[in-house]
């Protein structure tokens, strides 16, 4: 049971850290940057710009949770591996959010360290998920990929919210 609650607690921790540190966050907030750090997109500090990244991660976590729950309908080994893969990705999203939060609240001379840690967490999480479930891509029954209308609507809604949170601010502030 703890493994199901822990990633959500980590996501909540991101919000808590940002709320506690809100007054110490600079007046301009990083919205986006290239991998090499060039051409950063900066926006004025507001509740939206400060909490935007954890909000994006909650949307991603909801998608992952929907996929994980969909795979919990069966106890087969393939489905167990599938659930594990989605659990690894859920933890990846949670830790990505946490380390990006540390990047936002850290002094400028340390923030780049958390950027690279975040990047590493994402790469490691994806690799672990793929290694855990390498059989999935060849053995999983594609019939299990069928979604109900309500699942499709939820996924489409989450996609629209994600795109709004992730890309609209970049267009506005660049």
CA atoms within 13 A on the CB side of 166: 11
What is the predicted pLDDT for the residue at 100? Answer: 93
Q: In a 10 Å sphere around its CB, with 0-12 CB exposed, 13-18 middle and 19+ buried, how is residue 88 labelled?
A: buried
| Domain-located, residue 30 | no
What average pLDDT does range 57-61 have in this prediction? 96
What is the predicted pLDDT for the residue at 162? Answer: 95
Domain encompassing residue 122: 54-173
| Domain-located, residue 96 | yes
| Domain-located, residue 80 | yes
Number of domains in the chain: 1
| Domain-located, residue 7 | no
State pTM to two decimals.
Answer: 0.86
Is the pLDDT score of 37 beyond 70?
A: no
CB atoms under 10 Å from CB of 121, counted, come to 21
| Domain-located, residue 42 | no
Is the pLDDT score of 7 beyond 90?
A: yes
Cα 2 to Cα 7, 8, 9, 90, 94: the distances in Å are 9, 10, 10, 13, 14
Banded pLDDT at 142 (limits 50, 70, 90)? low
Q: Model confidence over 75-134: pLDDT tens digits?
A: 666 667 778 888 999 999 999 999 999 999 998 888 889 989 999 999 999 999 888 776
| Domain-located, residue 104 | yes
Which carries the bigger pLDDT value, residue 1 or residue 65? 65
CB atoms under 10 Å from CB of 7, counted, come to 22
What is the predicted pLDDT for the residue at 78? Answer: 60
């Amino acid at each position: 049971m703890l493994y199901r609650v822990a990633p959500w607690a980590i996501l909540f921790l991101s919000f808590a850290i940002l709320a506690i540190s809100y007054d110490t966050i600079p007046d301009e907030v990083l919205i986006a940057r290239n991998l090499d750090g060039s051409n950063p997109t900066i926006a004025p500090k507001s509740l939206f710009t400060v909490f935007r990244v954890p909000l994006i991660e909650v949307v991603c976590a909801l998608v992952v949770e929907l996929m994980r729950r969909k795979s919990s309908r069966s106890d087969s080994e393939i489905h167990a591996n599938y659930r594990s893969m989605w659990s690894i990705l859920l933890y990846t999203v949670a830790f990505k959010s946490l380390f990006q939060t540390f990047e936002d609240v850290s002094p400028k001379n340390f923030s780049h360290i958390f950027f690279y840690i975040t990047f590493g967490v994402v790469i490691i999480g994806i690799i672990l998920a793929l290694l855990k479930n390498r059989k999935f891509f060849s053995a999983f029954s594609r019939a299990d990929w069928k979604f109900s209308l309500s699942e499709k609507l939820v996924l489409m809604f989450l996609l629209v919210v994600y795109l709004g949170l992730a890309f609209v601010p970049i267009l506005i502030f660049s």
